[in-house]
Amino acid sequence: MRQIVLDTETTGLEPYDGHRIIEIGCVELVNRKFTGNHYHQYLQPDREIDQGAMEVHGITNEFLEDKPRFVDVVDEFLEFIEGAELVIHNAPFDVGFLDHELSLLDTNKGKLSDYCSVLDTLVLARQMHPGQRNSLDALCKRYEIDNSHRELHGALLDSEILADVYLRMTGGQTSLTLGRQNAANQQTTETTVRRISANRQPLKVIKASEYEATEHQKKLSSLNDAIWNQQEG
């Protein structure tokens, strides 16, 4: 099964107020393993970023001046996610923005649902932990995932963190960092095997004495008699 853990950063909260996507980050999982493949792109939104949004992700208007527009990367992006299950935290937000970006194109690209399915980890977390906080930070704390390096939101970083959270939530790996390091090396080993040295000292075998063997046999005979008598009673 191929899954794409996805996150976006935007100029504001509502696409229908003219806000746009400025960053897309995707991390690929195949059969619940990190493959090392990812998609990451900053985008020129052709509008100013709201101050509140800038305080969340730290991306500035000046930084995006020379970045491509969504129309320039849409084919590459859709090719990367096509046929996969998208794993998104609070999916309506990201899907709403992506569908809006697709609707602004001159060519008919349809909607995100035409290319892939979506799993909302926020819905999943609320089902698993009703009445509790289920933000990404709260889930990291609950599942003991280190996100201390996350001072600001970032689409690729948040996708990587969400991938760890999702795997832990759904009952998988116990060493997620190891899994990612192996993915970077194109390896997918989940278990470390400790091998015993061929030069080790042979194990000492101590045999029972004749007396110990006789006493052991007497004990077994008495147990057998007790069980037999109990069954007859």
Name the residues annotated as catalytic.
153
CA distance 158 to 164: 10
Torsion-angle region of residue 17: left (phi > 0), alpha (psi -120 to 50) or beta? Answer: alpha
CA distance 140 to 147: 7
Q: What's the distance, Cα to Cα, between the start and end of the chain in Å?
A: 60
CA distance 93 to 98: 9
Strand 21-30 and strand 33-42: the pairing is antiparallel
Q: How many CB atoms lie within 10 A of CB 209?
A: 9
Q: Give the DSSP H/E element, type plus range, for residue 138.
A: helix 136-142
Structure-token match 């939101």, residue found: 153
